[in-house]
Amino acid sequence: MTGVDVSGKLLDIARGYERNEPLGVSYMLGDAQNLEGIEEASFDGVVCNMALMDIPDLDATLRAVARVLRTDGWFVFSITHPCFPTPALGWTQRVDEELGREIPNYFAEGFWRRGNPEGVRGKVGSHHRTMSTYVNVLARAGLTIERLAEPQAPGHLAECVPGYRDVPPFLAVKCLKPDASYALAGRREPAMGTGF
């Protein structure tokens, strides 16, 4: 098992855990957008937890993942749900006490940062992408979706953000890398804006 991160400080913390409780994990400094130094078709699986939305070049990242996976390999990732929260997500309390969602500008993709400097999104920001962008980039990389999950917020998170009782804050996806005869990599997309 190999852990890759662009942050030397986070790798030092992870290596400390490995020294205290050896699990056979090696760590390397690297960029998920190219996974330089990792051989082609060298892994059975790749996991990316809560990071794809923080990486600027999604296309390059998913091509790199597909490159290092063996045929029939799997890719599992979790992200903040692309539909909730969007950069302009807001919660309003209506007169009848019902909590309402405001989700303007869902289609406005790009980098954003929350106004709260103490929160994760206030510190590191995020790259908002629509659900269709994620699905289409996975297809271009030759990865097929096997399963999706939209877990409900656990108790504490739902208490902190009551709206998360009604909408999923996260999206988890399992993809497979089929053999080359099945993969969609390299196919040209139609010129229409919808991709159909």
Question: Could you write out the DSSP letters of every residue in 34-69?
Answer: T-TTS-TT-EEEEEEES-GGG-S-HHHHHHHHHHHE
Residue range 41-176, CATH number: 3.40.50.150
Q: What is the DSSP string of 109-122?
A: -EEE--S-TTSHHH
Higher pLDDT, 144 or 95: 144
Q: Which of 46-50, 84-88, 120-124 has the highest mean pLDDT?
A: 46-50
Q: Which of 25-34, 49-58, 89-98, 187-196 has the lowest mean pLDDT?
A: 187-196
Q: How confident is the model at residue 105 (pLDDT cuts 50, 70, 90)?
A: confident
> Has residue 93 got a pLDDT over 60?
no
Q: What is the mean pLDDT of residues 108-131?
A: 77
Residue 100 reports pLDDT greater than 80: no
CB 3 within 8 A of CB 26: yes
Mean pLDDT of all residues in 132-154: 95
Instruction: Please report which confidence band the pLDDT of residue 89 belongs to, taking 50, 70 and 90 as the band edges.
Output: low
**How many Cβ atoms sit within 10 Å of the Cβ of residue 12?**
10
pTM of the model: 0.80
141-163: average pLDDT: 87
Structural domain spans, the chain: 1-30, 41-176
Backbone angles phi and psi of 104, in degrees to 5: -80, 155
Percent of all residues in the chain with a pLDDT value above 90, rounded to a whole number: 56
Cα gap 33→57, rounded to integer Å = 6
Of 37-41, 55-59, 138-142, 187-191, the one with minimum mean pLDDT is 187-191
Reported in sequence order, the residue ranges of the chain that DSSP labels E, i.e. its strands, are 2-5, 26-29, 43-49, 69-80, 90-93, 99-102, 110-112, 126-128, 144-149, 170-176
Mean pLDDT taken over the chain: 84
Give the mean model confidence (pLDDT) for residues 135-150.
97
